[in-house]
């Protein structure tokens, strides 16, 4: 009989069978194969990568920096960021 015959899941406390410290419900699913292009534009559904995503950056007088990341195909804004730069 194994030493740890009655192990409990470290996440939920249910019994663990087999290898590892998580029960079958708490074990994460195997990751899907990564996409070769990286992402898909939510607007035009064109596969794109970070190399193809365009960026518009402007610095305001009060020290704020605003950056828009947009699709090279449809120019749809994918992400916006703003921060203070000193």
Range of the domain at 71: 34-86
Comparison of pLDDT for 73 and 1, the residue scoring more: 73
| Residue pLDDT, tens place only, 57-66 | 999 999 999 9
Tell me: do 62 and 47 sit in the same domain. Answer: yes
Total-model pTM: 0.51
Rounded-to-integer distance, Cα 80 and Cα 38, Å = 19
Identify which of 76, 35, 38, 36 has the alpha carbon closest to the alpha carbon of residue 54. Answer: 76
Average of per-residue pLDDT across 17-46: 74
My answer on whether 58 and 82 are in the same domain is: yes
> Is the pLDDT assigned to residue 23 strictly greater than 80?
yes
- Judged against a pLDDT cut of 80, whether residue 29 lies above it is answered with no
CB neighbourhood size of 30 (10 A): 6
In tens, the pLDDT along 62-83 reads 999 999 999 988 999 988 999 9
Based on the domain organization, do 57 and 70 belong to the same domain? yes
Asked whether residue 41 falls in the same domain as residue 54, the answer is yes
Same domain, 17 and 39: no
Residue 42 sits in the same domain as residue 63? yes
pLDDT of 47 strictly over 50 = yes
Provide the domain count of the chain.
2
Q: Are residues 42 and 81 in the same domain?
A: yes
């Amino acid at each position: 009989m194994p030493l740890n015959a009655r192990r409990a899941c470290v996440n939920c406390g249910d019994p663990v069978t087999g290898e590892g410290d998580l029960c079958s419900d708490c074990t994460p699913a195997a990751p899907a194969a990564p996409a070769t292009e990286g992402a898909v534009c939510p607007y035009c559904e064109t596969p794109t990568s970070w190399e193809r995503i365009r960026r518009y950056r402007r610095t305001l007088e009060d020290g704020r920096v605003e950056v828009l990341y947009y699709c090279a195909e449809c120019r749809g804004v994918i992400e916006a960021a703003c921060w203070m730069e000193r």
